[in-house]
Amino acid sequence: MEPNAPVNTKFYQLGNGGSLIFEHDLTAVSNFLGRLQPEFHGIQMDDQPGGELQWIITADLRGNMESPTTERILFSFRESNWLDGLARGLQEALARLCGQNAVRLLASRFAHLVKRDAAGIPMALQSHPELRHHAEHLDFMLYHTQLDLDNARMYANQTHLALATHGDAIKMLSRDRNKLRLRCAKKDVTITRLRAQISSLEATVKAQEEQIQEMEEDEADRETERAERQANITALQNLANQGHGNHDHPGSKLKNFQNTNPPMFSKTEEPLDADDWLQTMENNLEVAGVEANEMVLFATHYLAGPARAWWTSTRAMNGGQFMTWADFKLKFSKYHVPPGLIKKMRDEFRELKQGRMTVVEYRDRFLTLSRYAPMRPTPPRRGRRDS
């Protein structure tokens, strides 16, 4: 790079809402005097023996809008960096503008700005014996207040420079922070998903354990049922082998009962099916010639599932005592056939009419409902059909 060659250029104009030191005061004074806003030009030069860069700052305090060159103030100076040079230019421009218009400004709200030297430094107060003591004190306080304000603005300018210098580092830290937050958010999502999977696995394991427990309980129930059925078979075989005196053959009674193909009963959604099983079983027992004291033993051998569980519980509550067939029918019907249904059948039997039924349909329905009648009815008469 050739000596005296410009390296960089800058331009700054007041009135754009900036916050540099002395900028507010210089803008306000320029507006009060009706002048155009000052402009500042900077050129960075490489003209030092050691190769150090220097800024040449030029301040242009233009005149009013009609004739910008009227009462124009133009000055230049050198500074090591642009922001420090701009702050110095603002301070000196304010001092020169106030010095040129001191008479006018002393009678305004900007009178305190006139009491500065050519460089913009507040001037020390001279003693004024003719002023009252409180006026001197006020001027003294105003001087120190203005000095503190200048120092505060200078500090603000330095802070602004530091922020501008470290702006890239702050942006980099901000990007790193955002990356860390994103990474943490992804980990949180992963943790949440894993927790959900763990909860699902725990629920699955619990369900499987409950299923295994139910299977074990079912297996235990089946073992109990098989044992009871085997005991019933053994008892039936013993009865068949022992005989009862006047029978032709010891095993004929059991064989005859099995030949009737007695139905198994476990459970049903239709209560009348339970009553039908009871009626069928009673008929088969009579056909096979089973004696009254053996009817319960033969019939309960054909109970399974929930019905077998009911019988086991009922027999335990009975204390293992002998149960007649009439007692068994009563307990069986009370548990498997709701009383309300029996009443409904009785009411339907009392109100039964042939209506649109055929004679065969009417007869079958009559015989079915007669099972639930409180007493044996008289045979129905054939009459005219009800319309």
Amino acid 381: pLDDT? 47
Q: Is residue 54 within 8 Å of 42, Cβ to Cβ?
A: no
Amino acid 51: pLDDT? 58
Amino acid 245: pLDDT? 47
Amino acid 386: pLDDT? 44
Q: Tell which of 143, 158, 173 closes a domain.
A: 158
Name the token pair of 197.
Answer: 């999977």
Cα separation, 85 vs 83, in Å, equals: 5
State whether the Cα torsion 81-84-88-93 is positive or negative.
positive
Cα separation, 240 vs 235, in Å, equals: 8
* Number of folded domains that form the chain: 2
| Residue 14 located in a structural domain | yes
| Residue 363 located in a structural domain | yes
| Residue 143 located in a structural domain | yes
Amino acid 142: pLDDT? 83
142-151 burial, b if ≥16 CB within 10 A, otherwise e? Answer: ebeebeeebe
| Residue 62 located in a structural domain | yes
Residues of the chain below pLDDT 70:
1-5, 47-52, 70, 118-120, 123-137, 218-251, 271, 373-387
Amino acid 157: pLDDT? 82
Amino acid 387: pLDDT? 39
Query: What crossing angle do the helices spanning 167-242 and 133-165 adopt, rounded to 10°?
Result: 60
Q: What is the pTM of this model?
A: 0.34
Cα separation, 129 vs 221, in Å, equals: 121
Cα separation, 333 vs 336, in Å, equals: 5
Q: Is residue 91 within 8 Å of 61, Cβ to Cβ?
A: no
Amino acid 4: pLDDT? 63
pLDDT digits (tens, 9 = 90+) for 191-248: 988 899 898 888 888 888 887 787 777 666 666 666 666 666 666 666 555 554 444 4
pLDDT digits (tens, 9 = 90+) for 53-78: 789 999 888 888 777 776 778 888 88
| Residue 111 located in a structural domain | yes
Q: Is residue 143 within 8 Å of 150, Cβ to Cβ?
A: no
| Residue 230 located in a structural domain | no
Bridge partner list, 192: none
| Residue 163 located in a structural domain | no
| Residue 33 located in a structural domain | yes
Domain that holds residue 36: 6-125+134-158
Amino acid 275: pLDDT? 85
Cα separation, 207 vs 65, in Å, equals: 90
Amino acid 50: pLDDT? 58
Amino acid 16: pLDDT? 73
